[in-house]
Structure 1
Amino acid sequence: MFDLTLIGIGTGNPDHVTIQGAQAIRDADLILIPRKGENKADLAGLREEIITAVTETPPQIGYFDIPKRRADDGYLRGVDEWHDAIALRWQEAISAHPGAHRIALLIWGDPSLYDSSLRIAARLDPQPKTRVIPGITALQALTAAHAIPINDLGAPYVVTTGRRIRDEGWPESASKVAVMLDGECSFQTLEMADYDIWWGAYVGMKEEILIKGSLPDVAQQILETRAKARADHGWIMDIYLLQKRTVL
Structure 2
Amino acid sequence: MARHELLDNVSHRELRIHRVFRPGHGYDAGVARVFPAEFEALQNEYPLFFMKNRDTGHFEPIALLGFSDEENLYLDNGRWDAYYLPLTIERQPLLIGFQQQDIDGIPTEVPVVHIDLDHPSISETEGELLFLPHGGESEWLERMTSVLMEIHEGHQAIPAFSQTLVGLELIESVSLDLQFRDGSSQNLKGLYAIDESRLAQLGGTALEALHKKGYLRLIYMMLASMPNLSILTERKNRQVMATAS
Smaller-chain TM-score bracket = under 0.3
Q: Which has the higher contact order (CA 8 A, sep 6+)?
A: 2
* Structure with max Cα Rg: 2
State the TM-score, normalized to the length of structure 1. 0.25
